[in-house]
Structure formats: C-alpha cells, structure tokens
Amino acid sequence: MQVGTFGTAGVGKTTFWAAFDLLCTDLSNEPEIAKKELGCVYRYMPWEFGLFTGKYNGVKIAQSNLRQGRFPEKTPNVNVAYELQTYHRFEYRLTAKNIILPVVETAGEVLARLLGKLGSTQYSPLNPKQGLNTAEAQLIASKLLDSDGAILCCPVTQAITQGGTLGDGVQVEVKDPSLPDDPDVNMNRLIQCIAQYKMATPGSRKLRAVYIVLTKADAIKERLKATGFDIETEDGMNRFLKRFYPNTLSALGWFKNLKFRVFPFWVYAEKDKNLNPIWHEDGYHVMVDPTRDRPYYSVNHLLRLLRALREDFGS
C-alpha cells in the first residue's frame, strides 16, 4: 500500500506531515485521550528512510521545529522521493486493526516541472520519459502515480485570490511562475495524470481514496465563514469546492467507488494585536502553547484524517 503526497512548492506539505506526526505521537502517549477520540488504545511508530540532505532531516526534525516555534524547512529540490512509513495499531477489547502506511513525498519544484510539461503537452503518463529526465520520470511513475491513495495539498488562500472575491489583503502564495494561477487547474491536471497512468498500466494499484488538504486555512477561514463558505462544516465545504474547485471535483468523479474526503489544515503563526501574522527576519514563527510546548494547529481535522485512514486503508 502506498500513498503519494502532491503539492507544488510552498503549499505546506512538510508542515502538514510534521503536525500529523505530532498528533499521532501525542495520542500514543495519552491513552485516555486516544480512547476518547478513537475508541481504543492507539500505538504509533514512524520509520523514516529515503532522503536526508542539507537542513531537512525528516518528519521528526520537522515536528521538533514546530514545537520550538519554527516552521519546518522545505523538502530539497532534488529528484529523490522522501519516504515515511508509518505504523498505526488500534487495539480494541477483543481485536486489533493495523495500518502500515507508506507516505511518498517529493519537492514541489519537481511536481511543478511535471505540471508545466502537462500544460504544454510535453509530458504524457503513457510515456513518462517524454519531456522529463529519467530520474524525474521514474520518481513520478513509481512513487506518485502508482499509489493506492493520494493526498493533494493546496493552500486555500491561492484559490480565493483567483476566485475574484474575498481576495482583499490576502497574500498570494509563492509558486512556480510557469504554473497556472488557478490551483483548481493544477489539481485537475494531477488527477488526469493519475487516471491516464492507471488506465494504461496493467497491474497498477487501484486508487482507493483521495484526500484534499486545504493548507493555511487559518488565513481566510473566518472571512469564508462570513460569506457562506464555512469550510469547517460539510455543507460549507461542499459549496466552497463547487465554487473554487469545479474541475477537480469533476475529475475525481471519474473514479468509480473512490473515497473522497477534504480536510482544512493550519498551524497558527504568531500574530500582532490586529491579528496579522508577524514577519521576523527568519520568517514567520509558530504560535506555541508555553505550558505544553505544542503548536496551535487544527487538531480536530487531523483527528478526522486519522480516523479516515483507519477506515479507508485499515486491514
């Protein structure tokens, strides 16, 4: 079983996995909380392997950065996948459910090169080497396209600024200039690529579930709520997706019996008295609870994601 993590540069993939790892670590150390939230005893063990270069040393260092009030270093821009294999054990009174979940991630710049070539018809998943070097082609085909599940990370602010409304004062995300402004187009291209690869590749893994993680949702969620797009409710999220991600929804409808879920995600940055994020010389700092050395983040939505993983990939 394999899950690919997709997202262009700067969307927060590393921060997302660091926060999820922190949640799982804390649940495994707090049996009473785990029993309340999951209905069982929960045990967790991550195994890191693959890429360890420069300042980026895997999910545990990224998690430590969050607890110390720093956002993690981004994944290096090299043609190697960083792989994290997580073991989850849910122990009930008479039985247990185990999940072995390999997670595959690559730098957003590598993904941007794929999307740029898709947009200019220079890349076809039917011929992965066309328009890409061998390392990139092998990475995309074996580690991302041929997966049982996909987690698509996209900053919610980027969708809003392209929607023509609610965009006043919202900082546009840093991204590859060769990509379309609309993240709905990028996500649609990715899903098309996955579908074409699986239809053309005998024996490829069946896509069981796709999760969309709307990162940096704290920057805009209150304004969305005030205008009828409360992304923390099912109805508000459905309206949001139909408004800002119509092509993504249409592409996902191609897969029969696909489980599709959406999760808003954020890690709060330090803010001034006007609730604006504070910029320091070394970037934004994470808001941390000094009594626990834990960042303030979207715990409840990551709990939903953990429950979904148990349901969709548990054996």
Averaging pLDDT over each range in 42-46, 193-197, 270-274, which range is the top one?
42-46
- The domain locations on the chain are 3-313
Predicted local confidence at residue 182, as pLDDT: 75
User: Counting beta carbons within 10 angstroms of the beta carbon of residue 307, is it exposed (0 to 12), middle (13 to 18) or buried (19 or more)?
Assistant: middle
Calculate Rg over the CA atoms of the chain. 19
- pLDDT tens digits, 174-212: 444 544 567 788 788 888 878 877 887 888 888 889 999
The mean-pLDDT minimum among 161-170, 218-227, 260-269 falls in 161-170
Average pLDDT over residues 107-113: 58
Predicted local confidence at residue 140, as pLDDT: 65
- Residue 303, Cα to own-chain centre: how many angstroms? 14
Average pLDDT, the chain: 79
Query: CB–CB of 96/89 below 8 Å?
Result: yes
Query: CB–CB of 24/309 below 8 Å?
Result: no
Predicted local confidence at residue 100, as pLDDT: 79
Average pLDDT over residues 33-51: 87
Predicted local confidence at residue 49, as pLDDT: 66
Averaging pLDDT over each range in 113-127, 182-196, 248-262, 273-287, which range is the top one?
248-262
Exposure pattern of 118-145 as b/e (b: 16+ CB <10 Å)?
beeeebbbeebeebbeeebbebbbebbb
Exposure pattern of 148-174 as b/e (b: 16+ CB <10 Å)?
bbbbbbbbbbbbbbbeeebbeeeeebe
Q: Which residue has the higher pLDDT, 157 or 307?
A: 307
- Pairing mode, strands 149-155 and 3-6: parallel
Predicted local confidence at residue 173, as pLDDT: 46
Query: CB–CB of 231/166 below 8 Å?
Result: no
Q: Which residue has the higher pLDDT, 143 or 6?
A: 6
Residue 77: pLDDT band with limits 50, 70, 90: low
Average pLDDT over residues 17-22: 94
Other beta carbons within 10 Å of 91: 15
pTM: 0.82
Exposure pattern of 229-255 as b/e (b: 16+ CB <10 Å)?
bbbeeeebbebbbeebbebbbebbeeb
- Pairing mode, strands 288-289 and 294-295: antiparallel
Residues 6 or more apart whose CB falls under 8 angstroms from that of 177 comprise: none
Q: Which of 20, 23, 16, 15 is nearest to 72 (CA)?
A: 15
The mean-pLDDT minimum among 19-28, 238-247, 249-258 falls in 249-258
- Pairing mode, strands 96-105 and 149-155: unpaired
- Residue 314, Cα to own-chain centre: how many angstroms? 19
Query: CB–CB of 23/109 below 8 Å?
Result: no
- Pairing mode, strands 209-215 and 259-264: parallel
Predicted local confidence at residue 174, as pLDDT: 45
Average pLDDT over residues 225-250: 91
